[in-house]
Amino acid sequence: MRTRLLTTILYIVVALLTAFTALRPAAAHHAFGSEFDANAPVLLKGKIVKIEWVNPHTWIHVEITKDDGAKEVWMVEGGSPNTLLRRGANKNTFPVGTDVVVDGYQARDHSEKRANARNVTFPDGRKLFLGSTGTGAPNPDDFPTGKIKTPNK
Amino acid sequence: MRHLFLAGVPAMAALLLWTPDPVAAQTPKSPAKTYSPRRMANGHPDLQGTYDLATITPLDRPFGTNAVYTKEEAHKRETAAALQREQGDQAIKGDRTAPPKGGDGSIGPAGNVGGYNTGWLDPGSTYTMVNGEIRSSIVVDPPDGRVPPMIPAAIQRTTAGRARPTSDAQENANDPGLEKAPGAYDDPERRPLGERCLLGFGSTSGPPALPDYFYNNLHQIVQTPDAVMILTEMVHDARIVRMNAQHLPKNIRLWMGDSVGRWEGDTLVIDTTNFTNKTRFRGSTENLHVVERFSRIDDRTLLYRFTVEDPETWARPWTGEYAWPATNGHIYEYACHEGNYALTDIMKGARLREKEQASAKAAR
């Protein structure tokens, strides 16, 4: 009985830990803490106007409309494009005009309209990039009009 | 950071797990005796190909685990890693708000502002398998599977030099040198080599070549009678191994050391010395000495074994090994400098922080 209780507690702890870590984006490869300002969170809703398909980090340019109606282009930092390329995605997979929602933190230099891309999703919350490899890789034809396959299902 | 985000495709895991017993019989302990690899015109084994080094086997064995996992243990761990990955891919709220002011609580290089979605990552999904054994660490000697502790003089030396980040500083998420040591942001040359697009993160190019527990784990071997070239995708590092040659004079130092090769039977042995004091693999000195041994296990797999020694850093040499499975994937260019906005943003961020601190001090 006691063992069962302990096992149950253990399962709950593991489940909580898993949920906690899964919700968080992965740690970065370089000094994100110095590059971005933890006191300047941003939520950007707009259209992709350009993708810089470069190493070490992909930069996605998103045009947003501010409250006063003015347009502003932000650059958000993602990971290495090589991984996406190996999955069959390329810069044509996410054409200009694709609507996205990005959450992150602005660069410390606020004169720069730059931010880290903690999460890049379509307006309905689906992730733009999925982490599958091999046969589970998303079909580029499915982007961006929907029907993104959830890998391994 | 290394073990939290592991790949999600259990297909390879299933292959590993459902292989009928005895697995050992399929991967002979002395490959040379029972397996004859394909050969080059000069009779030596043909090691050429593109290999994907991604694995979830860490360098150091986790405390409390055996050297070899049972199939059941490996299955459990690989499935957990796959599940975590899958959860990372799940949709979130489209109408979400911005992350919390003051930071999202992430630690290490993610620095309280978070990193990437799992979609960007491509680490391994399975443990490495050597001699039919599912290995819990790359290090096999010392027998506890862990890199030996540094000798006191080395600890003193590395503590004093913390403000000069090492090639694998990124992997030491708790290393105060990366973020907090005095002078760590004084000029670009104080920043880690990976951040500066000079060498791969975490000794991907090596030697010794270690897996990147993040992405871009492809390596290519090109072989001629006189030279062997090992290309590492991250960060575009090509190491040229001169066959049957003498080491360069001691005053000539190279980022990845000076590598010379020879054949011992069907094993390619590469001896590397003449390192600089800029890479400092896991705190070592420029007198680091690495011996690597490449052999073919089968037509699709190499065994990579390495021994590292530096008496000024460790009291004894240590050895690691893991499999390099061939891949049909292609290595892509990793031209890095042109797009490295991050480095300028990091340096700018540091200057702004200094200004803020100075004006806060003046106001007091």
Domains of chain A: 36-142 (2.40.50.140)
At residue A19, the pLDDT reads 41
Amino acid type, B219: H
Q: Which of A133, A135, A150 to mutate to test binding with chain B, by most B CBs within 10 Å of its CB?
A: A133
Chain B CB within 8 Å of residue A135 CB: yes
ipTM over the 0.90 cut-off = no
| A127 secondary structure, DSSP code | B
pLDDT digits (tens, 9 = 90+) for A37-64: 999 999 999 999 999 999 999 999 999 9
Q: Which residues of A42-72 are buried (b: 16+ CB within 10 A; e: fewer)?
A: bbbebbbeebbbbbbbbbbbbbbeeeeeeee
Q: Contact B341/A122, CB-based, under 8 Å?
A: no
Could you report how far apart the first and last alpha carbons of chain A are, in Å? 36
Average of per-residue pLDDT across A115-125: 94
Task: Please state whether the peptide bond connecting residue B22 to the residue before it is cis, i.e. omega within 30 degrees of 0.
Answer: yes
Amino acid type, B253: R
At residue B109, the pLDDT reads 66
Separation between Cα atoms, residue B103 and residue A40, nearest integer Å: 9
Separation between Cα atoms, residue B260 and residue B242, nearest integer Å: 5
Element (H or E) spanning B12, and its range? helix B11-17
Low-confidence ranges of chain B (pLDDT < 50): 1-29, 32, 167-177
CB within 8 Å of chain B, chain A residues 7-66: 18-19, 21-43, 52, 54-57, 59
Phi, psi of B241 (to 5 degrees): -105, 115
Nearest-Cα distance to chain B for A44, in Å, is: 8
pLDDT digits (tens, 9 = 90+) for B264-287: 999 999 999 999 988 888 889 999
At residue A28, the pLDDT reads 53
Does the pLDDT value for residue A2 go beyond 90?
A: no
Which residue in this structure is represented by tokens 């066959």? B243
Which residues lie closer than 8 Å to B248 by C-beta, 6 or more apart? Answer: B254, B258, B274
Q: How far is CA B45 from CA B38, B182, B191, B268, B299, in A?
A: 6, 50, 41, 9, 11
Q: Contact A84/B83, CB-based, under 8 Å?
A: no
- pTM of the predicted model, to two decimals? 0.82
